[in-house]
Amino acid sequence: MTKRITVAVTGEVQASAEKVYAILADYRQHHPLILPGAYFTDLTVEEGGLGAGTIFQAEMNVFGSRRTFRMCVAEPEPGRVLTETDLETDLLTTFTVTPVEANHCRVTIATEWQQPPGFGGWLQGLTMPAFMRRIYQAELHQLDEYARAQG
Cα atoms in the 13 Å half-sphere on the side-chain side of 77: 8
Cβ distance 70 to 94 under 8 Å? no
Quote the pLDDT of residue 122.
57
Q: What residue segments make up the domains of the chain, in order of their start?
A: 4-149
What pLDDT, in 10s, does the model give residues 7-25?
999 999 999 999 999 999 9
The chain-wide mean pLDDT, for the chain, equals: 91
Average pLDDT value for residue range 137-148: 97
pLDDT per residue over 28-83, tens digit each?
999 999 999 999 999 999 999 999 999 999 998 876 778 899 999 999 999 999 99
Specify whether the CB–CB gap between 98 and 106 falls below 8 A. Answer: yes
Quickly state the pLDDT bin for 119 (edges 50, 70, 90): low
Task: For the domain made up of 4-149, give the CATH fold.
Answer: Alpha-D-Glucose-1,6-Bisphosphate; Chain A, domain 4 (3.30.530)
Residue 51 backbone phi and psi in degrees, to 5? 65, -145
Phi and psi for 48 in degrees, rounded to 5? 70, -130
Cα 18 to Cα 123: distance, rounded to the nearest angstrom: 39
The pTM (predicted TM-score) of the whole model is 0.91
- Measured CA to CA in angstroms, residue 56 lies from 36, 95, 137 at distances of 17, 16, 22
Q: Convert the pLDDT of each residue in 89-98 to its tens digit.
A: 889 999 999 9
